Structure 1
C-alpha cells in the first residue's frame, strides 16, 4: 500500500458548531471547503468535518502536538475552552492535557520536552 495523503474524518452532530469550534475556537487554518465539509490543516495531516448527523466521538481521539502546552492552554482558556484534564508529564515522558470538541471527541494536546528521545537528532555526526 502506497499512502499519498491522509485525513481524519469527523461526522459531528451539529456541523456548524463543530466548524466554528475547530476554525474559531482552536484557530485551525482551513485547507479546503466543500458543500458538505471543511478540511483543516493539522500539522502534517488534515481533519475533515463532514456533513452532520453523527453520533459523537466513539473511540476517536485527536493527538495534536503543540510548541508550548501551558501557553496553548492559556490561549484556549481565553476562548472559553474547558480543560478536561490538566497538563501533566506522562510515564512515557510527554506533557499532555486533554480537551474535547462539542461532540466530546477527546483532543490530546502534547508538548514534547526538549530532553525527550523524540527530539534526539538521529543524523550521523
Structure 2
C-alpha cells in the first residue's frame, strides 16, 4: 500500500505593484488589489509581500467604510500591527502603512470587485514614475 502525500493548497500571492524608489517622496507609493474586503485575510498577504527595505510595518490606517469589521490589532508573522479604521476618510481608496524609523507608504487600494483589465491599468498608473 502506498501513501500519496498531497501538498497543502498554495496561499494566494498579494496583488501588489510598487513605484520605483526615488529621491523624492511620492503621494502614492504603489497599488494593492485585495481579493476581498476582509483585512484579517488580506493584510497578512500584503505585509508578507512588502520589500524588506520597508522594514517592520507596525501600523496601518484604512477607511472604515470600505472594509469589513476587524480588530484594532492583528498578529501578523509574530508581530503586532495596529490597525486604525477611519470612518469617512478623505483617502477612501488608500491604505497608509507605517514603519518606525523607515517611513510611511500610501498605497492605492483597487476594490476587489474591479475587473482584472481595469485593475491592472489602475495599478500600473499608480506605480508609474510620474503619477
TM range (shorter): 0.3 to 0.5
Larger proportion of strand: 1
TM-score by length of 1: 0.32
TM-score by length of 2: 0.31
